[in-house]
Amino acid sequence: MERVSPPSKKSSSSSLMELRKESFDAAVLKSSSSSGKTHIGEVKKSSSWIKSQFLGRGSYGLVYLATNDEDKTTIAAIKSAEISKASTLMYEKRILTRLVSPFVVRCYGDEIARENTLFDGERTSYNLVLEYCSGQSLAKLIKTNGVLSEKNVKVFARDILYGLHYIHGQRIIHCDIKPDNIFLTPVVNRLSTNVYLAKIGDFGLAMEKGSIEYRNGWGHKRGTTSYMAPELMNHGIVDYGVDTWAFGCTVLEMLTGRDPWGEYSGLVVSKDLPKLIGQSNFIPYIPGWMSFKAQDLLRKCLVKEPALRYKLQKVQVAQSVRRRELTEQTCRRCNLRKVRHAEEGSICRKCDLRNVRPAEGADTQLITRGVSCIAVFKRCKLRTCQRRCM
């Protein structure tokens, strides 16, 4: 599948501990002795991270699972490239450091370090330190399981919508939403058989609306062909609607288990796909066996004319997603979903005990998960938010 980049210019699951942001920050900020400086920062004699497992090859670098060399417990995903080819990773870091959301892969910093190569050589590498999502990508889940149940698709779709709503609020357009760029991290407190939280990652092609690079939004052809909106394919027009189109293609792929334009593979060769997307009246095929709500959502996202395409805010309150939002609220601080909300704090859904602070008689065992602490009630054995909702 062809990925279109600007003209100028992720593995096996593992039960590894997930730590708080403070631990990552402390690990990233520790530096070894420097051997020099570049115009973009200090060059370390050796990396602060020990790469233990190759996770995949991205468009602009190699991705590794790594352990911090200082404490030997902090883990991260390291996206690495030779310094002379790392401009896209540096741009991605600039975007990601502004984004703090449970539905976006976190960036914990970067480093420039001397590293050994496979052939006893040495190179200067740029390492982007990212949150490790042990559930791998949505694309791998689809490849392994095939068609996903509509119930699970709703959960993933809602997570992606929350992520898109957040980044659009920061005036960021992703430009490459697809299953390969949706990463999964295990959670234990979902009211569903789905045990993963979906997070948006890989912002190498993202654009900030209103920036110098963005200009008037025209002439920025970028993305992966099968997920590119018609206006992006034809004229390189980048606006929030291109993410809505790609979101629709991603939902369709989850429901069918195949490429969004797969139904037309026997009619056109790959080189003609851009014409099919940009110059024909066709949209990706929506099977009739899907539920009415799923078909309705897809038809409203996959509209050729951007002005008539569903706005993200409208998609968020669509009936196919709304029912779950009403029955399962999300704590802004820890993103747990086994809570409902009241003025005095979070309430355990099963036994109605309020857990603003661990009450007397409650099990005070705390479980580290991301940036949150979770208390476990003896009475009902459900984990719920320990902190007052912000």
Binding positions are 79
C-alpha 277/C-alpha 4 separation (Å) is: 14
For β-strands 182-186 and 107-116, DSSP reports them as: unpaired
Residue type, 318: A
Q: Pick the catalytic residue: 176, 180, 202, 243?
A: 176
Residues in binding site for ATP: 79
C-alpha 139/C-alpha 146 separation (Å) is: 10
**176: annotated active-site residue:** yes
C-alpha 345/C-alpha 355 separation (Å) is: 7
Q: Which residues are catalytic?
A: 176
